[in-house]
Amino acid sequence: MKTWRLIRWAGVSMMLAGLIFAAIQPFHPLDVLESVTTTRWVLIQSLKTAMCAFGLFGLTGLYARQASDAGWLGLAGYLLFSLFYLITLPFAYAEAVLLPLLAAEAPTFVQGFLGIFNGSSVAMDLGALPALYAIAGLGGYVLGGLVFGVATVQAGVLPRWPAILLAGAAVSPLLLSGLLPHPLDRILAVPMGVALVWLGYALWSEHRALTAGIVPGTPGARLT
């Protein structure tokens, strides 16, 4: 029962992660030096940092709820999608805490760091940071979201429509980013946020199954 309560609270955590992810997109400041010292920048990046922590806990709950049914595909999707949150978290923390402090002292470094996100040429050696960001985007968000969404549909434990939305939202940047240049492409993140909120709510609301006497993990407890 304690484990089941943790999974339920993971659903709340996933709802918060998805809500933050969708809500910050219209208000995200431009990735330019002038934005770094603004209050909006610090607020958005702080929310993004919290989103990653909520997302890791929530995603773990989603996987734990369907682990036996999702099989190796679910495990692969969980591990890949976790990379998005694991790598994005220190990036977002650095943007919230470090970049505002360095904006006046080391503007060249800050502009180079921002170039990872806005697509401008990076005029300095940032080591493995650009590669890590690419892994978080392509390996974590796109591939991980797609695989986890497909595994969730196949497992049949959680609702399939938010899982389908999750998979579609994960690959949409590859398919539509050419039509929506940065920063307009941020709108593509909104469906992903909706899918995560939906799945999180499904996980949290399963307490009704317990009230009805259905044991989680059995066919009677599945949601369609």
All residues at 6 or more sequence positions from 125 whose CB lies less than 8 Å from its CB, including other chains: none
pLDDT of the residue at 210: 52
pLDDT of the residue at 211: 46
183 upstream amide cis, omega within 30 of 0: yes
Q: If we measure between CA atoms, which residue out of 64, 49, 73, 70 comes closest to residue 11?
A: 64
All residues at 6 or more sequence positions from 7 whose CB lies less than 8 Å from its CB, including other chains: 61, 64, 65, 203
pLDDT tens-digit series, residues 38-68? 999 999 999 999 999 999 999 999 999 999 9
Give the residue ranges of the chain where pLDDT is below 50. 211, 214-221, 223-224
Q: Are the CB atoms for 222 and 156 separated by under 8 Å?
A: yes
pLDDT tens-digit series, residues 118-133? 877 666 778 899 999 9
